[in-house]
Amino acid sequence: MATESDLVFSSQANHNFSRILTDLKRSNLSITNRLRSIREDADFVSEVASAFRRPLVANERCGSWYIAPESKAGSAYFKSTDGHVGQWKFSTRRLNLQLLKIIGESDGCIIIDSTRRGKRMPDALSKTVPIWCCVLNHVLFPEATKCHDVYTPPNVVPLSEQAQIESRIAEHVASLKALDVDIETLRRQVSKPLRPVWVTQESQLVPTDQIFDDFHPVICCTSSRRVLGGEMSEGGYIQGAGDDTENWALGLTPPVFWGNAGVLSAAPEADLPDLVRSLLAKGQAETNTDAPRQVAPCLFVSRLPVATGQSPSTCTIAFASRTIDASSWIKSPLHMEVGIGKQKVASRTLRSALPQICAFARQFLEQGSDPLQSSDPLQSSNPSQGSDSDTTEERHITIACETGKDLSIGVALALLCQCFDDRGKYDSKAADAGMNKSIIKLKLGRVMMAFPKANPSRATLQSVNSFLMG
């Protein structure tokens, strides 16, 4: 009779077993399962909206996956990293002040976000939003001291951590006031202080028209069901399926997904890459009509492609997705095509491109009414006139990048600091006035208030800061 010692295992047994587990995990994290999980969580979000009867706001990038476009009232940018232990930050780059109008008109809002496997809720909802509410209460309702506490979800944020968060509120309040925002205008948009409230799939939803007498509720909804074990035990359900889209979505975006949810859900996994590519091509053609967004009196930002040569009083600075030799960036006095690569590479390389970009913009702003005419200085506007020149006041610069929210915002910020005074008028001597982080932060805050959907990356802003203070 054979004994245990007589059994012979292949040397490849462990390798094959590990490969099988990897294949199983990969198949469970398929695009099909992700899209199915997103739709399941979106059904819960709809239930929350029906129960609380307040508008849905997507916390980007993840939140928009769980809200049908026709039900989406707005977007916010509360980062989980701003709520991480030791960070606890009120971001002057992501002010989210556009939410106050929605909150005031509807007596609150519902902010939608998700998080990875195992967590009850994202730090953005458990800490970043509470910090934001607390800081705004201090600034907008200084007399309502009872509402100046930080409210965090019980059993999620320890009391010791909450105390540390509260100890930093004063410096956050000072940083917001330093931006010189129009407090009175903001104050008129809301009638009560703000207070966060939390909802998860473990919550009991009871339809209510409840009006809170003392505060506007900022309802923080975690859309995904909490999964404590591995996804393989969940029958294909993936917690936080809409997150980390760069790793799985093949370029698919929430609007394209919701516009074609039925087709995508019915397609076999093997057919999804080709289907997504065709839908994206169609969606790109439909969204290329987006109008440029004004971020300062003379500055506009746009996503690519952008129209050129429409008026001698408008020039365009467009970022190409490919690398182009800097000597050929200037195509005409009205058009510059900057080729420094894509995404993170472009953000890191932006610093070296900014001197040439600013010089091009400055030359355009200093020209006369027709930049194609003679360069005779007697026929052009006098640079020393600065903002008093009527011709420069009418001139516009449109800056375009892939998203219209990253590189274009960085260039707009650099130009505001280098070429414009505090009123947003062209000043040929602005670059000589000296630069520091406070001035840069102040002007970035103004850009973000003019265009709340702007989302410049950290690398982009680091390049701008390095250029301006280098």
- The predicted structure's pLDDT at residue 284: 62
Residue 9 has pLDDT above 70, yes or no: no
Residue 22 has pLDDT above 50, yes or no: no
- The predicted structure's pLDDT at residue 301: 95
Least confident of 24-33, 94-103, 259-268, 375-384: 375-384
Residue 127 has pLDDT above 70, yes or no: yes
Residue 379 has pLDDT above 70, yes or no: no
- The predicted structure's pLDDT at residue 117: 76
**325 within a domain of the structure (yes/no):** yes
Token code pair at residue 200: 């998860």
Residue 4 has pLDDT above 60, yes or no: no
Query: CA 197, 95, 450: angle at the middle one, nearest 5?
Result: 130
> Residue 317's beta-bridge partner residues?
336, 399
Cβ atoms of 226 and 202 within 8 Å: the answer is yes
- The verdict on 410 and 262 lying in the same domain is no
- The predicted structure's pLDDT at residue 287: 55
201-254 pLDDT tens trace: 999 887 766 778 899 999 999 999 998 866 555 678 999 999 888 888 888 999
- Which DSSP string corresponds to 26-37? HHHT-HHHHHHH
- The predicted structure's pLDDT at residue 197: 95
Cβ atoms of 404 and 457 within 8 Å: the answer is no
Residue 19 has pLDDT above 60, yes or no: no
- The verdict on 228 and 349 lying in the same domain is no
Report how far apart, in Å, the C-alpha atoms of 43 and of each of 55, 65, 223, 350, 457 are: 15, 12, 9, 42, 32
- The predicted structure's pLDDT at residue 286: 55
Phi-psi category of 178—alpha, beta or left, where left has phi over 0 and alpha has psi -120 to 50? Answer: alpha
**145 within a domain of the structure (yes/no):** yes
- Alpha-carbon Rg for the chain, nearest whole angstrom, is 26
- The verdict on 60 and 186 lying in the same domain is yes
DSSP 3-state of 408 = helix
Euclidean distance between CA atoms 35 and 257, whole angstroms = 9
**426 within a domain of the structure (yes/no):** yes
pLDDT classification of 370: cutoffs 50, 70, 90 = very low
401-460 pLDDT tens trace: 999 999 999 999 999 999 998 888 888 888 777 788 888 988 998 899 889 889 899 999
Among 231, 250, 266, the domain boundary falls at: 266
The set of residues, in sequence order, having a beta carbon less than 8 Å from that of 300 and lying 6+ positions away, is: 292, 293, 294, 396, 397, 398, 399
pLDDT classification of 191: cutoffs 50, 70, 90 = very high
pTM of the complete model:
0.80
Least confident of 19-33, 64-78, 271-285, 429-443: 19-33
**10 within a domain of the structure (yes/no):** no
- The verdict on 391 and 257 lying in the same domain is no
- The predicted structure's pLDDT at residue 307: 77
**Of 212, 210, 177, which Cα lies nearest the Cα of 191?**
212
Cβ atoms of 314 and 396 within 8 Å: the answer is yes
**190 within a domain of the structure (yes/no):** yes
Residue 165 has pLDDT above 90, yes or no: yes
Average pLDDT of the residues of the chain: 85
- The verdict on 207 and 330 lying in the same domain is no
- The verdict on 58 and 156 lying in the same domain is yes
Euclidean distance between CA atoms 354 and 304, whole angstroms = 19
Euclidean distance between CA atoms 40 and 225, whole angstroms = 10
DSSP 3-state of 180 = coil
- The predicted structure's pLDDT at residue 390: 43
Q: Indicate which CATH number applies to the domain containing 396.
A: 3.90.190.10
Among 230, 248, 266, the domain boundary falls at: 266
pLDDT classification of 23: cutoffs 50, 70, 90 = very low
Euclidean distance between CA atoms 224 and 254, whole angstroms = 16
- The verdict on 404 and 332 lying in the same domain is yes
- The predicted structure's pLDDT at residue 380: 36
**59 within a domain of the structure (yes/no):** yes
Euclidean distance between CA atoms 239 and 226, whole angstroms = 6
Sign of dihedral through CA atoms 177, 62, 243, 112? positive
Report how far apart, in Å, the C-alpha atoms of 54 and of each of 39, 186, 219 are: 20, 20, 9
Range of the domain at 457: 293-369+380-469
- The predicted structure's pLDDT at residue 265: 87
What is the helix, strand, coil percentage profile of the chain, to 5?
50, 15, 40
Give me the percent of the chain exceeding a pLDDT of 90. 57
**336 within a domain of the structure (yes/no):** yes
- The verdict on 321 and 415 lying in the same domain is yes
Phi-psi category of 59—alpha, beta or left, where left has phi over 0 and alpha has psi -120 to 50? Answer: beta
Stretch 460-465: mean pLDDT: 95
Number of folded domains that form the chain: 2
Query: CA 407, 411, 415: angle at the middle one, nearest 5?
Result: 170
Distance, first Cα to last Cα, the chain: 81
246-299 pLDDT tens trace: 888 888 999 999 999 999 988 998 899 999 999 988 766 555 556 889 998 899
pLDDT classification of 30: cutoffs 50, 70, 90 = confident
**Of 390, 371, 359, which Cα lies nearest the Cα of 311?**
371
Phi-psi category of 309—alpha, beta or left, where left has phi over 0 and alpha has psi -120 to 50? Answer: left
Stretch 182-188: mean pLDDT: 93
pLDDT classification of 374: cutoffs 50, 70, 90 = very low
Report how far apart, in Å, the C-alpha atoms of 287 and of each of 302, 321, 408 are: 12, 18, 18
Among 266, 285, 302, the domain boundary falls at: 266
Residue 330 has pLDDT above 70, yes or no: yes
- The predicted structure's pLDDT at residue 13: 53
- The verdict on 52 and 101 lying in the same domain is yes
Q: E strand or H helix at 300, and its extent?
A: strand 299-303
- The verdict on 231 and 297 lying in the same domain is no
Least confident of 17-31, 314-328, 356-370: 17-31
Question: Residue 281, Cβ neighbours under 10 Å: how many?
Answer: 9
- The verdict on 219 and 307 lying in the same domain is no
Cβ atoms of 415 and 299 within 8 Å: the answer is yes
- The predicted structure's pLDDT at residue 118: 80
Euclidean distance between CA atoms 261 and 456, whole angstroms = 29
**416 within a domain of the structure (yes/no):** yes
- The verdict on 297 and 262 lying in the same domain is no
